[in-house]
Structure 1
Amino acid sequence: MTTKLHHVVPNASPPPPSSLYSHAVQADGWLHVTGQLPTDPDDPAAPLREGIEAQSELCFENIRRILDHAGYRLDDTVFIRIFLKEFDRDFAAFNRIYARHFPQDQLLPSRTTVGVAALGRGALVEIDLVCFRST
């Protein structure tokens, strides 16, 4: 029997009022983290920061808060998906930020990076991921 835990993380950016979801769902060692936009977790209504670097760091900050709440680490990531609004322009700059969180000298998760026409709140980036930890 699968045990599911739904995580709503008080110190991560809250879901918009029009969206109905948990920050993450945990089931039998798996943690599926909902796509995180670059909203400031301490001031979610604030305007988005400018530039792919600043926005990417905020996405990772939200992810870290969710992982901490659920008892996981970024090292537990097995799959990550990145959505970029300006793929050609921002891919290299995003990768520099990504490498700070997933250094190349460690085992890397599988990854998909997708160029998209638009993201919520006019964001440049959104990140979701799946983690696994043996129970």
Structure 2
Amino acid sequence: MKHHMITNGPQPVAPFSHAVEADGLICITGQMPDTPEAKGQLPDGINAQTRNVMANLEIILTGLDLTWDNVMMARVYLTNFKRDYDEMNRTYASYFPQDRRPARTCVGVTGLAYDALVEIDLIARR
């Protein structure tokens, strides 16, 4: 098993690796909507927060020499499910071709680090 920390990646909010890899499968830790330069500072609204989360995930994918095409599964966590679900979906969907979207679970949760509106983690394969 290999533990990855991406040099220019987002600052961890807790003790974890950006990704853990075994036998070609890569579990990528859920990312928050802050940026590597502005730890803990979040933009307003679900669209901007989803874009930041996806940007952070892309930094990690790139650091692992992967692309969105390698993503098999995504898990999305929303703190205001009813209000934010549709808008998050519109933003999220723009990262994947319609005929090659990963499997996905999306759940409502009571809270996330930094009082974020969204967090997304991934499972990818080399």
Same fold (TM over 0.5): yes
Partner of 1:37 in structure 2? 32
- CA displacement, residues 28-66 of structure 1 (integer Å, 9 cap, x when unaligned): 111100010101122224x21000000000001110010
What are the equivalent positions in structure 2 for 1:39-118 lying under 5 Å apart?
39-45=34-40, 47-104=41-98, 106-118=99-111
Identity within the alignment, %: 41
Give the conservation status (yes or no) of the 8 Å contact 1:11–1:42. no
**When the two structures are superposed, what TM-score results if normalisation uses the length of structure 2?**
0.95
Structure 1 gap ranges (5+):
none
In the alignment, is residue 125 of structure 1 matched against residue 122 of structure 2? no
- Which aligned segments of 4 or more residues in structure 1 are displaced greater than 4 angstroms? none
Partner of 1:23 in structure 2? 18
How far 1:86 sits from its partner (Å)? 0.5
User: Which letter maps to 2:79?
Assistant: K
Structure 2 gap ranges (5+):
none
Larger Rg: 1
* Superposition RMSD in Å: 1.0
User: Which letter maps to 2:59?
Assistant: R
Report SS of the residue matched to 1:67.
helix
**1: distance between equivalents of 2:38 and 2:101?**
31
Aligned residue pairs, count: 126
